[in-house]
Amino acid sequence: MGIFSFFSKDKKEKLDQGLEKTKSSLFDKISKALVGKSTVDDDFLDQLEEILVTSDVGIETTLKIIDRIQKRVAADKYINSSELNKLLKDEIAKLFDESGLYENDFESEKSNKPYVIMVVGVNGVGKTTTIGKLAHQFKSTGKNVVLGAGDTFRAAAVQQLKIWGERNGVHVVEHGMNTDPASVAFDALKYATENNSDIVIIDTAGRLHNRVDLMNELGKIKRVMSKIIPDAPHEVLLVLDASTGQNAFEQAKQFTAATEVNALALTKLDGTAKGGVVIGIADLFKIPVKYIGVGEGIDDLQLFNKHEFVDSLFN
Amino acid sequence: MFESLSSKLEKAFKTLKGQGKISEINVAETVKEIRKALIDADVNYKIAKQFTDTVKEKALGQNVLTSVTPGQLLTKIVNDELTLLLGGKTEEINLVGSPAVILMAGLQGSGKTTHSAKLANYIKKKGRTVMMSACDVYRPAAIEQLKVLGEQIGVPVYFEEGNNNPVSIAQNALKAAKDQGASVLIVDTAGRLSVDEEMMAEIGNIKNAINPNEILFVVDSMTGQDAVNTAKAFNDVLDFSGVILTKLDGDTRGGAALSIKSVVNKPIKFVGMGEKMEALDQFHPDRMSQRILGMGDIVSLVERAQQVFDEEEADRIQKKLLKDQFTFEDFYTQIQQIKKMGNIKDLMAMIPGVGKAMKDIDISDDAFKGIEAIINSMTPGERKTPDIINGSRRKRIANGSGTDIQQVNQLLKQFEEMRKMMKTFSKMGGGGMPKGLMPKMPFGR
């Protein structure tokens, strides 16, 4: 079930149908995987490789997973097919374990008040939409939320965030288009402090991570915030599009270098893309995936669950 | 993590040396490396497999000529095959019709609105009157976004406040375009997932209502394995006529381009290369293929070199080289020209095969400083006839340039080797060397 339980029944059935073939053949392979031996057969590993690679897990991480499976099987021996199935999912889920702890709900008290979230990412991944949905989640647990319209570059981005503000009934601090985003962030934090807000979420313009000037600008926005609240932003949320391939690694690397990213959001998981690239990213950079986006509606944001995510790769 | 293909192939071919023909055994490891590189570049798993099978077939039994290494030969086969697959010639946009109607379609965040405006700007510059129509009634402020962009480029935007039916907006826009005598109408639509049946039916209805001349599938060049599913699903519904590949100014390898081309066999008509309204370029299959392979962009290097190098100066030096009259003064001039081309490391990285070797070496723009200092410490006579530089002169030059005698010796030796090499080239006839590009450069420390 997992992620897919949030689709309408129709869509879920469609998806399941489409995935049926892959699923049954992998499970066929698992049952044929030479029970009781200390090695897994090549056919099974080939099949596994295909599933992982076509989910955008990437070659390096795929080989790492396969290596782990082979070692476990060599050590444990006499493994049956259902055990192998479980072992496989466990080994993948483990890659998320060292990526840090994160709160399991939207209600719990945040470590700071106001708790400042800065949202970053390349163009078109869904930063503004994610902010709109995040604001809704926090608001519905009784928290007082303020948004900062820091995307002053893309045409009508401020307008887009203001509409989300209206939908949620939360205040949006904005200076209009083509203004200094750092000063928007500064004023948003100031407003939040003066009005005793619980959460501030700062939007930023999408930027490609190889643009040094624009990455420096992000660093500046971040620095300016600490003038109002010394340890702000408490959360730097990198938004990744589930349909992005291996370039997401570079995105994670460059945005982390510029702003010390400490949380990930994976969007557009309601499509056919699996977003497997976050497995390698969480493992390599030790950054936890916190949220997933599963649609355009205001409720379509969920907390990340590694087991459901891993299941979805094989379902 | 993303080692370039050429360096991987160099590694794989180490086991291949001394073989006269490419055979089943010696090609297997290499083909695996090519497949890995393609998957790293986000080419779809199955397509990468098909592709490498084709390459293997073509490579088997080929004689390895003495002048090229098996690695070079195979890289060439891969590159040629890839370029072929990505499409031969650049295809122009179809603007026949009055008005010519262009429908934009794609996933959320692929860049449809931005590229509607870029395309409008491109067509307008060709002297046509363009109108855009805002049919994204779902994303907040999407209509506003197109209006702002329309204003920036001076193209009118048809929109209907409060109308939630994109089909009727598109129809009315077509009427308005006819009434106002616009010769091209660009219809922007909402982003949609290929599994969203309702939304896919809607764009099918928009297509039927306005009968577009061009349907452009807008896709993010950073897309991963899912590119095949999405492209196929959109093509099944729309039978689109071309592709716009966006955000190519990033550092993605762009394997999605190959996946899409293989699955739907529609031409990539444009690439988006930046956020400015002018940042829309034609698609070059050969450059894309080199990018996917991580082969370095030799074309860009040559183009940049052409921009900077003074043609006459290059000719003059070429002649001197051939006549063995190349002096330290000429060498100095060449260094200045190379420096004009930009950051040395960037330039070197563009040369296939060099990228890997230079990865860990920190070459700053000061790389030539030592050489320049040594040349500056020579007398005019010494620069013209290096043969006169004896032991005591060497000592003086080392002192004057703040280097040591070993460095001076090294430079003199390399300079002599370079001259010898040029002599050999001129004997071989035809000049041999590419214009303006120096042979083996003696890098100082």
How far is residue A4 CA from its own chain's centroid? Answer: 16
State the DSSP code for A296. Answer: S
Which runs of E-coded beta strand occur in B107-237? Answer: 130-135, 157-158, 184-189, 214-220
Q: Does B259 touch chain A (CB under 8 A)?
A: no
Average pLDDT in chain A: 85
Structure tokens at B242: 């071309």
Which residues between 131 and 150 in chain B have a beta carbon less than 8 angstroms from any beta carbon of chain A? 138-142, 144-149
Q: Which residues of A touch B49 (CB under 8 A)?
A: none
Higher pLDDT pick, B203 / A3: B203
Task: Write down the pLDDT at residue A132.
Answer: 97
Whether B249 sits inside 8 A of A56 (CB atoms) is: no
Tokens for A18? 């489409």
Which of B109, B141, B251 has the CB atom closest to A125's CB atom? Answer: B109
Q: Six-digit token pair at B381?
A: 């006579």
Strand B100-106: give its sheet, edge to edge: B157-158, B130-135, B184-189, B100-106, B214-220, B242-246, B268-272, B280-282
Quickly state the pLDDT bin for A46 (edges 50, 70, 90): confident
Question: What ipTM was predicted for this assembly?
Answer: 0.85
User: Which chain B residues are closer than 8 Å to A53 by Cβ?
Assistant: 39, 45, 225
Q: Which two tokens stand for residue A169?
A: 């009934």
| Closest of B244, B248, B184, B250 to residue B217, by C-alpha | B244
Q: A223 and chain B: CB distance < 8 Å anywhere?
A: no
Q: Closest partner residue to B249 among A208, A246, A270, by Cβ?
A: A208
Q: Hey, is the C-beta of B250 within 8 angstroms of any chain A C-beta?
A: yes
| A window 47-106, beta carbon within 8 A of B | 50, 53-56, 58-60
Q: What percent of chain A has pLDDT over 70?
A: 83
Which class is B5-85 in CATH? mainly alpha
Lowest mean pLDDT among A106-110, A275-279, B16-20: B16-20
* CATH top class, domain B100-293: alpha beta
Cβ contact B220–A124 (<8 Å)? yes
CA distance B342 to chain A (A): 17
Domain positions in chain B are 5-85, 100-293, 299-428
Q: Which residue of B has its CA nearest to A127?
A: B109
pLDDT score recorded for residue B176: 97
pLDDT at B345: 58
pLDDT score of A9: 42
What is the band of A287 on the pLDDT scale with cuts at 50, 70, 90? very high
B299-428, superfamily in CATH?
Signal recognition particle, SRP54 subunit, M-domain (1.10.260.30)
User: Strands A263-267, A289-293: parallel, antiparallel or unpaired by DSSP?
Assistant: parallel
Return the pLDDT at B88: 65
**What's the pLDDT band for A173 if we cut at 50, 70, 90?**
very high
pLDDT-derived band at A162, boundaries 50, 70, 90: very high
Beta-carbon separation of B230 and A271 below 8 A: yes
| pLDDT by 10-residue block (mean), chain B, 445 residues | 49 54 70 86 92 86 60 75 80 90 96 96 95 96 95 96 95 97 97 95 97 97 95 97 93 90 93 89 84 62 53 68 77 75 58 49 64 90 89 92 90 82 58 39 36
Distance from CA of B250 to the nearest CA of A (A): 6
What domains does chain A contain, in order, with CATH numbers? 2-97 (1.20.120.140), 115-314 (3.40.50.300)
B148-207 per-position pLDDT tens digit: 999 999 999 999 999 999 999 999 999 999 999 999 999 999 999 999 999 999 999 999
Strands B280-282 and B268-272: antiparallel
- The better pLDDT of the pair A35, B131 is held by B131
By Cβ distance, the residue of A60, A208, A277 closest to B247 is A208
One fold for both B100-293 and B299-428?
Answer: no
Residue from the list A129, A157, A243 with its beta carbon closest to the beta carbon of B224: A243
A10 touches chain B (CB under 8 A): yes
Q: Tally DSSP H helices, then E strands, for chain A.
A: 11, 8
Nearest chain B Cα to A55, which residue? B225
DSSP state of B223: B
Residue B250 to residue A122, Cβ atoms within 8 A: yes
